[in-house]
Chains A and B, each alone.
Chain A
């Protein structure tokens, strides 16, 4: 099954709070898990990515937590700012030739309020 399930669909967080977005996958052949950020009228931009051989990756205020046995991964945005308001997509990919396309979750619309 080439499917990635993402939740919640939308999220409102106060400035300074922690935003948490969750994703689950089924295909155990996935070996690369990026998160993309999309602003209105723009294309998705790579935010941070992780491989399944590590359980956590942190870049600035953004952290991916990865649970291989549960086939779940999540994005944590610490100290959320109004400028973080955007739609976030998780994705997954295999690295096997013709199957190397990205499969996206359905997206989470994040709004950070003052």
Chain B
């Protein structure tokens, strides 16, 4: 019963390169959330996706950042033309369809992006 899988665990990019972070949700989960965690800080919401739909992207920077969750395959968080300030841990979480009540979010172990 695999949990939320994120890869790579560590990613090093030079300024100006592109970073692609992948997230496979838990089996049966159709909702994916991306969060960013800066050192010594909490988790900041970035985007909430369902299959083929962006539900809430209010936490995404307006430029260089994009996310998708295709019908087949993992969710992808893409950061174009990375800058040093993008260095952070990026966490993906998934949940089943919300339905009634609240379904807990299950987090992956994150991708630690370092921009040199």
A residues bordering B, Cβ < 8 Å?
A: 6, 31-32, 34, 36, 41-46, 49, 51, 89, 93, 95, 97-107
Contact = CB atoms under 8 A, between A and B. Distances in A.
B91 A44 contact: yes
A21 to B, nearest CB: 13
B55 A98 contact: yes
Contacts of A89: 42-43
Given A43-B91, A98-B56, 15 more contacts: A31-B102, A34-B104, A42-B109, A43-B4, A43-B93, A43-B110, A45-B107, A49-B102, A95-B101, A98-B55, A101-B56, A101-B59, A102-B105, A103-B45, A105-B42
A60 B89 CA distance: 31
Nearest to A94: B102
A101 B105 CA distance: 9
B41 interface: yes
27 contacts: A6-B42, A34-B104, A41-B109, A42-B109, A43-B91, A43-B108, A44-B43, A46-B104, A46-B106, A49-B102, A51-B102, A93-B102, A95-B98, A95-B101, A95-B102, A97-B55, A98-B56, A99-B56, A100-B102, A101-B48, A101-B59, A104-B35, A104-B42, A104-B43, A104-B45, A107-B41, A107-B42
Contacts of B110: 42-43
Given A32-B102, A43-B4, A49-B104, A106 B42 contact: yes
Interface in B40-56: 41-45, 48, 55-56
Give the residue among A93, A101, A106 with the most B Cβ atoms within 10 A: A101
B98 to A, nearest CB: 6
B105 A46 contact: yes
B10 to A, nearest CB: 10
